[in-house]
Copies of this chain bind each other. A is one copy, B any other.
């Protein structure tokens, strides 16, 4: 009963022809990149220049190199695509269907990433020329199973943003409470009472009020705040749990 090759004595695959067929997979990473421009939540998509799915929108990604781990591969893709490093990155789900890719057997590890859209460098590499920000409502059909991946990413983000202070990753360093509230409202597709939202957020003691105000607005300028990541770490250790 030769059902579990992997549980049996091990040698390197290259010395073990029986195992060769098991080492024929490609692994890719795909990363759903979210941004927020003050009005819409957007996602970074590329347009495919070749078949299959020529002209379709796709989530940026690439094959993982043989000597590269998955997170590094994703960071590489993100760096080449956006010019940015050290942005929020979270593993989402691995899609490993048999026929999901015509190139061969490719399992993709999907990630999603949050970045400050203002930091985005539109042309850090030749590859990114056809990358563009799309409002998430306007996404249509996508290449491969990328729509499915996007849907999973959005669901995850909506959940994550309620339970961890990751919304700030999408805002500029300095933002007003109205900015924050509007982000949450568009992302979660709900409405919050302004006064209650203020109270709740400020009560968490995660924001440092700056001695700065909005400018170039034609009404009383709102105060600018900054997220205090160190403070959050502190509070987390003491059992604090971010909610809503």
Binding site for B on A (CB under 8 A): 1, 3-14, 19, 21-28, 46, 48-52, 61-70, 80, 91, 93-94, 96-98, 102-105, 107, 109, 125-127
Pairwise interchain contact A10-B80, C-beta atoms closer than 8 A:
no
Pairwise interchain contact A109-B96, C-beta atoms closer than 8 A:
yes
The count of identical subunits is 2
Contact residue among B3, B25, B127 (Cβ-Cβ distance under 8 Å from A3): B127
Pairwise interchain contact B27-A68, C-beta atoms closer than 8 A:
no
Pairwise interchain contact B50-A70, C-beta atoms closer than 8 A:
no
B residues in contact with A8, CB < 8 Å: 50
10 closest A-B pairs by beta carbon, nearest first, are A13-B104, A70-B96, A9-B50, A94-B94, A25-B25, A6-B63, A22-B63, A23-B26, A25-B27, A6-B62
User: Shortest Cβ distance from A6 into chain B, in angstroms?
Assistant: 5
Q: Which of A13, A61, A67 has the most CB of B within 10 A?
A: A13
B residues in contact with A63, CB < 8 Å: 5-6, 19, 22
Assess A4 versus B127: contact at CB under 8 Å? Given A9-B51, A13-B26: yes
User: Shortest Cβ distance from A36 into chain B, in angstroms?
Assistant: 26
B residues in contact with A23, CB < 8 Å: 24-26, 104-105
